[in-house]
Each structure stands twice: as structure tokens, then as C-alpha cells.
Amino acid sequence: MKNLVNLTHLAKGLRTRQTDAELALWSKLNNRQVAGFKFRRQQQITDYIVDFVCFEKKLIIELDGSQHSEEPFKAKDENKTRLFQNEGYEVLRFWDNDVLQNLDGITEAIVIAITKDNHPHLTSPVKGEE
């Protein structure tokens, strides 16, 4: 229980000290602006805090600064991604500078990821696959 309390406190602090990239992306994700889905920021999943998550679609979005291209950050990020995937989440990772320079493109990539399973089948199922 101690770990949960510490992470909850840490998440609250992170929400008040967002990076410029987090603030920019949050301006697009909050208030159900992305295909009507609710996102939360700085949320605990397992023993980690993720930058953004849509629980309904099990989609995690992580924003990484340049330090994440180096060890030990790189290996830790890969392990976290595998852990989240094992929990059934899809993980999207974007570089901070990409968010700041191409916010519309990043938002479009998120829309594609979050809506990709929402399209009805355009053809009838093959016999035996209904």
C-alpha cells in the first residue's frame, strides 16, 4: 500500500509540473477531443506512472525527451512497454520535439490508433468465421 500512496502523490506532482510537450499534447487530448475518448494524464498502471492513458481503449501514450535514446532509459522504456503490452495495452511513444514541432501529425497518429478497431467489417464474414 505504501508504494501506491507514493505513486499517487508523485502523479499529482507530475500533473502540476508538466513539460511543454505534455502541456501541448494535453491541450489536444483533454475534454474528449480525440474521437470522443477520455484520456487521463499521469496515471498509475502497475508500478509505473504513464504520461497519458485512455482506459476505455487500453491505449498508453508516452512522451520521451532526448535522454530516453540512451541507456539505461532505453532499456527501461522497452521493459515498461512490454509490461504494458502484457497487460493488454497498446503503447505509443513520441519524442518531445516531435510533439512540439508536429502536434497535428501526432494527434492524427493517436486518432488512427484509437479508432482502428472501430470500423465495421465492409464485407460479409467468410463462412465459419462469423
pLDDT tens over the chain, length 130 residues: 445 556 655 444 444 558 999 999 999 999 999 999 999 999 999 889 999 999 999 999 999 886 666 677 788 899 999 999 999 999 999 999 999 999 999 999 999 999 987 544 444 445 554 4
Q: Which domain holds residue 100?
A: 2-7+28-115
DSSP 2-53: HHHHHHHHHHHHHHHS--HHHHHHHHHHGGGTBTTB--EEEEEETTEEEEEE
The model carries a pTM of 0.77
Whether 12 is covered by a domain: the verdict is no
Whether 59 is covered by a domain: the verdict is yes
**What's the structural domain count of the chain?**
1
Whether 72 is covered by a domain: the verdict is yes
Whether 14 is covered by a domain: the verdict is no
